[in-house]
Structure 1
Amino acid sequence: MSRASQTLFTRANTGLPPSYEVLKEEHEVAVLGTPASSAPAGPTIISIQGETSVPDHVVWSLFNTLFMNFCCLGFAAFAYSVKSRDRKMVGDITGAQSYASTAKCLNICALVFSLLTAIVLIVLMVTGALVAHGAFQQYGQDHGGY
């Protein structure tokens, strides 16, 4: 007889609680035993959803509000970004995603329109400078100047 089985018999007779080895052996027997139902056990699928990260685009909206506020689109984007952050704090993920999507679209529109306006202004300034330079040269040639 092994020492663990001797411990089991002597402790069972004396009324002392069983040792760790006895509990481990009982657990192994319970695990290796046949299942109670004869139907095959199917897989158990547990889906755990983690924290959903919703970008609220507040920094981008603030930048557009301060520097590229084409037709107040930057301000509107900032308002929607704040609404998205509020919805996220309350726990309304769907509402936060909706407001964030609107803020993103407004930010993109403000950025594109502001860049196009800047490009058009640069082109107009360059062409205006070239036309003015040509006009001054023509005036100089016509009036005997330089």
Structure 2
Amino acid sequence: MAMQSYSAPGGIPMQDNRAYAAQSVTVSMPDQKVSDDIIFSTFSLHFCNVCCLGFGAFYNSIKARDSRLLGDFPKARSYGAKARRLNIAAVIIGSILILIFLIIFVKTYMQATSIYNQIRYPYNY
């Protein structure tokens, strides 16, 4: 919990021009840091939207931001955690699929150039 202390400058003037000393007031506020990962979710939505995981992450990020603005911090933390998990899953699965695609593309290219060279120069092999 964050503790903040506020004190009033000077005293409070009364009817008979006497001033009473102001007392400091301590306000305790709960920790309001809630991560909604909206930028990470936007990246996942546009570049790693495997099986709509990026869309789910973006949706939960928006719900986390809305809940935080409404003051419902436990629900906002829940939505934020779900958004983070979906973002991580989307990026991992998307990266694996991109890696598989690149491997297949390179192997196909190598085979195609080999076949092309065999057709073009049949007596060099």
- TM-score, normalised via structure 2 length: 0.70
Any runs of at least 4 consecutive aligned residues in structure 1 with deviations exceeding 2 A, and if so which? 48-52, 137-141
Partner of 2:51: 71
Partner of 2:38: 58
Tell me, yes or no, if structure 1 residue 93 matches structure 2 residue 58: no
Query: How many residue pairs align between the two structures?
Result: 100
One-letter code aligned to 1:99: Y
SS in 2 for 1:88: helix
CA distance in 2, matches of 1:93, 1:54: 7
Mark the runs of 5 or more structure 1 residues left unpaired by the alignment: 1-47
Q: Which structure: greater helix fraction?
A: 1
Q: Which structure: greater strand fraction?
A: 2
Partner of 1:130: 110
CA deviations over 1:25-76 (Å, ceiling 9, x no partner): xxxxxxxxxxxxxxxxxxxxxxx55533111011111111122211111111
One-letter code aligned to 1:86: D
Q: CA RMSD in A?
A: 2.4
User: Based on CA coordinates, which of the two structures has the bigger radius of gyration?
Assistant: 1
SS in 1 for 2:32: coil
Question: Which aligned pairs between 1:101-120 and structure 2 lie closer than 5 A?
Answer: 101-120=81-100
CA distance in 1, matches of 2:35, 2:77: 8
- TM-score, normalised via structure 1 length: 0.61
One-letter code aligned to 2:43: F
CA distance in 2, matches of 1:130, 1:51: 57
CA distance in 1, matches of 2:30, 2:73: 12
One-letter code aligned to 2:101: L
SS in 2 for 1:54: coil
Mark the runs of 5 or more structure 2 residues left unpaired by the alignment: 1-27
Tell me, yes or no, if structure 1 residue 81 matches structure 2 residue 61: yes
